């Protein structure tokens, strides 16, 4: 089954890439903005979040191909956050996904605008006729609420605020920051698939629990890779957290304890889906992310 799941993941990624490549292709007077948006949006990456959207839509009987606009909207939000995170006023990173960051190519102001453009385009995409024609209007409203809550002040933006403030020094504070900055959007990815497919409350709660545990495992593994990974594998500078004096899971626990926590949280993510039928693909994906070197 491993090969079947790998092929499914590759097929999902191809569908997502093809769909994303269709956005922002016109050439108006402000085409430079679209160029900057596409530069980051089409820079590759794991596409974990939109893949989760398609996977949960499929799990609950929805047509994953029709949920692609939801998946793309989510990836626009994620990409905007990366563009802004890389800016000199934030993390001041020069490399992302193996190539210069958006502001290094287009300048700080255009990178800021590219992020703004992707953020707002996400909600236009979520509510477009292509997104809404096959689902009841109330599901679109739910989707907007899910994504805006996860991306906003009580979610990803709030988590970045805590990160920039540098006030997190305890395990509980670091965990809260990453639940907001990383976990919230992973939960939204899973929930969006459920919303599109019309899953009930129990299904959405299970999906959110899976994504919450997955998010913690994902971040702990990220912190490990910042210590033991390579720039070639990660496509970005390694050791940046330590150089900036950031308190990470790796710094708090050490690599061996981090490894244990990743395994534990991955197992809890899989367990959260125990009553949902054929969850082999999602279980396999959790395992792949736990062991990744990228």
- What per-residue confidence (pLDDT) applies to 71? 97
Residue 47 CA: distances (Å) to CA of 1, 24, 44, 209, 240: 21, 19, 8, 20, 23
CB 181 within 8 A of CB 163: yes
Cβ burial, residue 246 (10 Å; 0-12/13-18/19+): middle
List residues bridging with 95 in a β-sheet.
100
Cα 219 from Cα 240, distance rounded (Å): 15
- Encoding tokens for residue 191? 């929930």
What is the pLDDT tens value at each position of the chain, 294 positions in all? 789 999 999 999 999 999 999 999 999 999 999 999 999 999 988 999 999 999 999 999 999 999 999 999 999 999 999 999 999 999 999 999 889 999 999 999 999 999 999 999 999 999 988 767 779 999 999 999 999 999 999 999 999 999 888 766 788 888 999 999 999 999 999 999 999 999 999 999 999 999 999 999 999 999 999 888 766 666 666 666 666 667 889 989 999 999 999 999 999 999 999 999 899 999 999 999 999 987
Q: What is the pTM of this model?
A: 0.94
- What per-residue confidence (pLDDT) applies to 243? 65
- Encoding tokens for residue 188? 């939204």
- What per-residue confidence (pLDDT) applies to 8? 97
CB atoms within 10 A of CB 147: 25
Residue 136 CA: distances (Å) to CA of 140, 200, 213: 7, 14, 30
- H or E element, residue 99: strand 99-100
- What per-residue confidence (pLDDT) applies to 47? 97
Show Cβ contacts of residue 7 under 8 Å, excluding neighbours closer than 6 positions: none
Task: State the Cα torsion 158-164-170-171 to the nearest 10°.
Answer: 60
CB atoms within 10 A of CB 257: 13
Per DSSP, 100 falls in state: E
Range of the domain at 212: 2-290
| CATH classification of the domain holding 247 | 1.10.600.10
Cα 41 from Cα 35, distance rounded (Å): 10
Total domain count for the chain? 1
- Residue 189: which of 73, 81, 18 has the closest Cα? 73
Per DSSP, 287 falls in state: H
- What per-residue confidence (pLDDT) applies to 235? 65
């Amino acid at each position: 089954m491993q090969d079947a799941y790998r092929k499914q993941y590759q097929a999902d990624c191809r569908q997502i890439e093809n769909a994303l490549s269709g956005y922002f292709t016109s050439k108006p007077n402000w085409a430079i903005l679209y160029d900057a948006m596409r530069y980051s949006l089409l820079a590759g990456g794991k596409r974990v979040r939109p893949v989760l959207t398609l996977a949960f839509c499929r799990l609950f009987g929805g047509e994953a191909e029709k949920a692609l606009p939801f998946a793309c909207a989510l990836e626009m939000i994620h990409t905007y956050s990366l563009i802004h995170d890389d800016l000199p006023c934030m993390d001041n990173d020069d490399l992302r996904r193996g190539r210069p960051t958006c502001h290094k190519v287009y300048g700080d102001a255009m990178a800021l605008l590219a992020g703004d453009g992707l953020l707002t385009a996400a909600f236009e995409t979520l509510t477009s006729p292509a997104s809404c024609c096959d689902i009841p209007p109330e599901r679109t409203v739910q989707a907007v609420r899910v994504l805006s809550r996860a991306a906003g002040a009580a979610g990803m933006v709030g988590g970045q605020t805590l990160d920039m403030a540098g006030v997190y020094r305890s395990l509980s504070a670091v965990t809260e920051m990453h639940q907001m900055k990383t976990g919230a959007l992973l939960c939204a990815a899973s929930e969006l698939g459920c919303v599109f497919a019309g899953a009930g409350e129990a299904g959405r709660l299970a999906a959110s629990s899976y994504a919450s545990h997955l998010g913690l495992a994902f971040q702990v593994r990220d912190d490990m890779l910042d210590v033991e990974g390579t720039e070639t594998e990660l496509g970005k500078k390694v050791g940046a957290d330590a150089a900036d004096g950031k308190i990470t899971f790796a710094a708090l626990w050490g690599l061996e304890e981090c490894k244990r926590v990743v395994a534990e949280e991955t197992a809890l993510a899989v367990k959260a889906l125990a009553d949902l039928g054929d969850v082999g693909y999602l279980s396999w994906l959790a395992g792949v992310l736990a062991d990744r070197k990228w």
